[in-house]
Amino acid sequence: MFAEVSLFWTFIFASIFSAWNLNLYENYQLLQIQLLSQDDVNVLQKIVDVESLEMDFWTPLTDLDNYDKPIIAFVPPSSVNLLIESLEKSKISYSNITDVFRKNFNNHVQMLKDKKHKMKTSKILSTFTLNEYHTLAEIHWYMQALSRKHPQIVKLINIGYSSEGRPLLAVKVGRKFTKNSIWIDAGMHAREWIAPATAVYLLHELAENYENTKEIQFILNKYSFYILPVVNPDGYDYSWKSERFWRKSRSKHNCTFWSCCVGVDLDRNFNISIDLRGHPCRPDYPGPFPFSESETRAVSKFLSENQQHILLAISLHSFGKLLTVPYSFKSDEVENSNFQTYTARHFLQATAFKNEFYTLTQAYKNYKFSIGQEMDWIRLFTNIPLAYSIKLPPTPNEPYGFLLPEDHIVPVSIQAFEGILNMVKSLNYLY
């Protein structure tokens, strides 16, 4: 499946890997932790709160009553022994899946090396393939190419700039006369590469199939789509060049003469019950204050200015294979929960094929300790009536985590595209 474009990339792509210094995470370990009691949850939460213990949880902690999947912890060498000692002392069951992780990571590194070699030996990119991961520069070039190829329905929009000065490039796909619109963003967390890849696939399908697909024509004649494939361009670019599992933005905080803690978790930085107790060096640091980051300020400004005609807002993430609804910071349902559930079930119906299913859940049940999320802010501080967060595959029980192989990109994207289209079609019965 290809989108034919001609992209000159001599200096752009030559510079992408010029400073390529990828962390190989030697002696890191990946643990799969199974919580069997509420005491286990409490103990693990206490371990997380130990300031001196470095640890990156790839799946969130929550109450056992609402959780039946393993916790995945990525642990640096300095913390491995302490974590394992704490788990064994508390009789918490765990499995060491480092061998599986190492195999997947080595395959991923080889993919990056092959891409680096391809960029060095080529002077022109004749095709933009949808079945591979792309750098930030490639994604932006493709967005520009589509806007030139389909100027009647694709418009390039710069909604702001990142902390390091990179543009936050979005596209509007739709006819000029449409009144209502859909917002889709991705790449808020840098390491979740499947999310931007899926957003680009959605953009491609809408733009390239408008003229020959009646279903797409009907939808784009009624709704416009605003698609922002990479909310966090600094972090995404950094995850390609240096730290593959980098999550946050790249702004600097808590600086001393010798060093700074870098980055903020952008999906914890919106103005909702923000927790200011987080340590600045942790992967989920919410920031020094709400909207401290230029990226979240740009997104919130755009959504606020366009809230009167946006009916549906979706943020793409990974991993978990979940469709989550607000709220994440409290157990209360949103005021129009019947509408929210109605539209969500249209997503579930369209994505339930080949024995592959998404799970619908309130964010609070699976992400109880998540605060400052975009979708919560949207529901409480704008007039946008529907907001969701889609956690794309894989599930925590699968061996890939953030290293989903490239041959999964198109199947994952097709499933998400079908689900989102069905959600949009359900709006006809609500508004």
For 268-296, the DSSP string reads: G-SSSS--TTS-TTSTT---SSTT-SHHH
Based on the fold, state whether residues 193 and 69 are members of the same structural domain: no
Q: Please give the order of strands across the beta sheet that includes 56-57.
A: 56-57, 71-75, 29-34, 93-96
pLDDT at residue 330, as a whole number: 76
Grouped pLDDT means (10 residues each) for the chain, 431 residues: 42 52 92 85 78 78 61 91 89 93 94 80 68 94 95 96 97 90 98 98 96 93 97 97 96 75 92 67 88 96 97 96 85 80 94 83 71 90 95 90 96 97 91 69
Residues in CB range of 192: below 8 A, 6 or more apart: 186, 317, 318, 319, 392, 402
Taking every pair of Cα atoms in the chain, the longest distance, rounded to a whole number of angstroms, is: 65
What CATH number is given to the structural domain containing 396?
A: 3.40.630.10
Q: What is the pLDDT of residue 367?
A: 64
**What's the structural domain count of the chain?**
2
- Is residue 314 domain-shared with residue 361, that is, in the same domain? yes
Give, to the nearest 10 degrees, the angle between helix 374-381 and helix 294-305.
40
Q: Is 116 helix (H, G, I), strand (E, B) or coil?
A: helix
DSSP class of residue 332 equals P
The encoded tokens of residue 151 equal 């100027």
Say if 73 falls within a structural domain.
yes
Quick one: 167 and 45 in the same domain? no
Q: What is the DSSP string of 333-379?
A: PPTTHHHHHHHHHHHHHHH-BTTB--EEEEHHHH-TT--S-HHHHHH
Q: For residue 414, is it within any domain? A: yes
Kindly state whether residues 140 and 235 are assigned to the same domain.
yes
**Helices 194-208 and 136-149, axial angle in degrees (round to 10):** 10
85 and 168 part of one domain: no
Are residues 387 and 313 located together in one domain of the fold? yes
Q: Which of 58, 80, 101 is the last residue of a domain?
A: 101
Q: Is residue 20 part of a domain?
A: no
Evaluate whether residue 409 is within a structural domain: yes
**Does one domain contain both 83 and 217?**
no
Residue 16 has phi, psi (to 5 degrees) of: -60, -45
Of the candidates 86, 101, 116, which is a domain's last residue?
A: 101
Q: What is the pLDDT of residue 1?
A: 41
Residue 19 CB burial class (10 angstroms; 0-12, 13-18, ≥19): exposed
Out of 75, 101, 127, a domain closes at: 101
How many residues are recorded in the chain?
431
Q: Are residue 296 and residue 163 in the same domain, yes or no?
A: yes
Measured over the CA atoms of residue 88, residue 94, residue 99 and residue 102, the dihedral's sign is negative
233 with 358, same domain?
yes
Alpha helices in 168-317 (DSSP H): 194-208, 214-220, 233-241, 294-305
Main-chain dihedrals φ then ψ at residue 160, nearest 5 degrees: 160, -165
Residues 87 and 140 in one domain: no
Tell me if 87 is assigned to some domain. Answer: yes
Q: What is the pLDDT of residue 8?
A: 44
How much is the pLDDT for 152? 94
Give helix 409-426 / helix 194-208 axis angle, nearest 10°.
Answer: 60
User: Is residue 19 included in any domain, yes or no?
Assistant: no
For residues 72 and 56, what is the distance between their CA atoms, to the nearest angstrom? 9
User: Where does residue 150 rank: exposed (0-12), middle (13-18), buried (19+ CB within 10 A)?
Assistant: middle
Q: Strands 29-34 and 71-75, how do they pair?
A: antiparallel
Task: Decide if 350 is inside a domain.
Answer: yes
Give the distance, in angstroms, between the CA of residue 301 and the centroid of all CA atoms in the same chain: 20
The three-state secondary structure class of 5 is strand
CATH code of 54's domain: 3.30.70.340
Is there a single domain that holds both residue 422 and residue 342? Answer: yes
The amino acid that residue 231 corresponds to is V
Between CA 87 and CA 92 the distance in angstroms is 5
At which residue do the structure tokens 């390239």 appear? 208
Range(s) of the domain holding residue 92 = 29-101
Asked if 44 and 190 sit in the same domain, the reply is no
Sign of the alpha-carbon dihedral angle for 301, 251, 278, 188: positive
Specify the pLDDT at position 10: 42
Asked if 413 contacts 130 with a C-beta cutoff of 8 angstroms, the reply is yes
Residue 18 in any domain: the answer is no
Written as one string, the DSSP assignment of 49-114 is T-TT---EESS----GGG--S-EEEEE-HHHHHHHHHHHHHTT-EEEE-HHHHHHHHHHHHHHHHH
- Can you tell me the distance from the alpha carbon of 357 to that of 346, in angstroms, rounded to the nearest whole number? 13
